[in-house]
Structure 1
């Protein structure tokens, strides 16, 4: 028996390790050459303290309160030198990955397809050399090297972790480095290098209603998140909380992957979605911005986890809307992207 532990470092790097039954996270990390912070390894100093965001584990009773108080334990804080997982876990490590002598992972793949979905979006499909090495949390992104350009661009996965074929939604930007490659030079069989995973934008354990807000190609991480939620439901591991997505675009023909959303509705009965178009000349039934369609029903009186991914103006507008309306969700996770951004998801 082995469990997968995602270690999320404060510099945005995520490293996945395997933890054997009965093994502490600290020992598992050291065995795989990830030097987590540690002084005593006896539950005394508190140096190895982190926060477990999801998963099940046993902390035992051999640590002292000075290292981890009852209040901290109740909030999900853990000592990795004492923590013995009994399920897959996600742990926030409050130091940079470089201090733990761990590197961002690199994986190789081959271009399998490039499809123009609309005037402003392209889907890139990559066949990975080793899907087992492509671990990430749904919502995270990678840097993709642009062949012949000496540069990389960053994109969120729209596919599930561990799949042989990885997919990405990419905004088509005139003159863009990646857009130019995909539109003009890309060919099936081209070799690509992906570096990651990166980012703190990923789906947490669903214990209450969820509201997802997507702008343009910001839909990508939500496709990955929803696919995981559907898979968990099919495996009998939850899926009873309502999940609502509001997906906004500028023009009618910018709406893409609606067929994928319909398929996800079939697999996840608690999932609903609404599409919104900004263009005033559109005949779409819902026009305007996503903030115009966030009614009380989807806000659940604030008892909701909100995930937001889109261009900076959209993210800023939602933040201002929440502030103006006095809305304070139980949790709020967001990621903004800009054209040609090299350090954030796009």
Structure 2
């Protein structure tokens, strides 16, 4: 017999089997709880527990906080309900109508945009409407390889998904995608996943991206532009060298065409390139420019060290409300 999971304050509920994590059971019920990595490492799925409890199969392998050990919060992506559970998750209403699905897809285009990054466009199987919210990601599986997660970089209205894939040193799957995957190849896509999307508010926005962390930012920016946004948005995009900012011209175009948008590129290894722009860590440029973020929302996508450093400094040094920090870390 399943365990009932009640969501407050939105009066939703679903049933979880003992073999399912709370997040898996929610997905099956068509409900999206907040999450990112889905393996207990990023902490994005940490949720207040009002009553009941969760257990973990391998607690030593995940990143638990004191509040998790005390039972006040839980990691829903790896937690199994041990009794009827009541959790506080008002954000579930933000993704109503978006459900996880798995389907075949066919590669349409693969375009190199730098020495180690390719833009890949995939069309879902005929008859499949792969709906997602700008900022979410999917799992991509190519034949003979394990799944890999990539953020969508476009809007679902375009009829295909656009992914930005960096060939990682020693990365078996990314190497195959960038160097070997052919047009018309059959792949599998599953998703959408993640709760990295622009919240509906009137707060000004700061976006911080490192490397291919630009992909979900591009999707979110296209969504904002299409919707007629007027909220101030400041994008800081960081890379090691100029080629890492592989769509720099697009960002400058956004700034020229939208009075509410500003763009600051930042390089961490700019010596010898004739670079006259900002240098150093990308989040440090934000801290230097915006010492008071108390009225802002901050969205960060990139390596875990980028996300954790940005959250620490934006909250501790710039007075950002931690509830207004949203992230997607490459796990």
TM bracket, shorter-chain basis: 0.5 to 0.7
Equivalent position of 2:194 in the other structure: 199
Contact in 1 for aligned 2:154/2:219 (Cα 8 Å): yes
**1:312-346 Cα distance to aligned partner (Å, 9 max, x none):** 121222133235415223601112114xxxxxxxx
In the alignment, which of 150, 165, 170 is matched to residue 165 of structure 2? Answer: 170
Which consecutive unaligned segments of at least 5 residues does structure 1 have?
A: 1-6, 18-46, 55-88, 93-101, 234-238, 339-346
Aligned 1:229-308 pairs, distance under 5 A? 229-233=224-228, 239-281=229-271, 282-284=273-275, 285-295=277-287, 298=290, 301-308=293-300
Contact in 1 for aligned 2:291/2:318 (Cα 8 Å): no
Quote the offset at 1:173 in angstroms: 1.0
Distance 1:103 1:113, change over 3 A: closer
Distance 1:331 1:15 in 2: 28
Distance 1:297 1:175, change over 3 A: closer
TM-score, normalised by the number of residues in structure 2: 0.68
Contact in 1 for aligned 2:294/2:320 (Cα 8 Å): yes
Larger mean Cα displacement after TM superposition, 296-305 or 202-211: 296-305
Equivalent position of 2:311 in the other structure: 319
Equivalent position of 1:115 in the other structure: 111
Distance 1:53 1:296, change over 3 A: farther
Q: In the comparison of the two structures, how many residue pairs are matched?
A: 255
Distance 1:193 1:256, change over 3 A: same
Aligned 1:47-196 pairs, distance under 5 A? 51=90, 90-91=95-96, 104-130=100-126, 133-149=129-145, 151-196=146-191
Which consecutive unaligned segments of at least 5 residues does structure 2 have?
A: 1-11, 15-21, 31-85
Distance 1:211 1:11, change over 3 A: same
Equivalent position of 2:222 in the other structure: 227
Contact in 1 for aligned 2:240/2:270 (Cα 8 Å): no
Distance 1:137 1:103, change over 3 A: closer
Bigger Rg, which one: 1
Equivalent position of 1:34 in the other structure: none
Quote the offset at 1:180 in angstroms: 2.1
Quote the offset at 1:261 in angstroms: 1.9
In the alignment, which of 23, 34, 37 is matched to residue 11 of structure 1? Answer: 23
Distance 2:96 2:315 in 1: 30
Distance 1:8 1:135 in 2: 23
Contact in 2 for aligned 1:50/1:91 (Cα 8 Å): no
Contact in 1 for aligned 2:27/2:99 (Cα 8 Å): no
Distance 2:260 2:301 in 1: 21
**1:233-253 Cα distance to aligned partner (Å, 9 max, x none):** 0xxxxx221000100001122
Contact in 2 for aligned 1:210/1:242 (Cα 8 Å): yes
**1:164-203 Cα distance to aligned partner (Å, 9 max, x none):** 1211111211331322212332111101110011112122
Equivalent position of 1:336 in the other structure: 329
Give the match's secondary structure for 1:174.
Answer: coil
Distance 1:206 1:103 in 2: 23
Distance 1:319 1:131, change over 3 A: farther
Distance 1:53 1:139 in 2: 16
Contact in 1 for aligned 2:204/2:232 (Cα 8 Å): yes
Contact in 2 for aligned 1:115/1:123 (Cα 8 Å): yes
Contact in 1 for aligned 2:106/2:185 (Cα 8 Å): yes
Distance 1:175 1:168 in 2: 20
TM-score, normalised by the number of residues in structure 1: 0.65
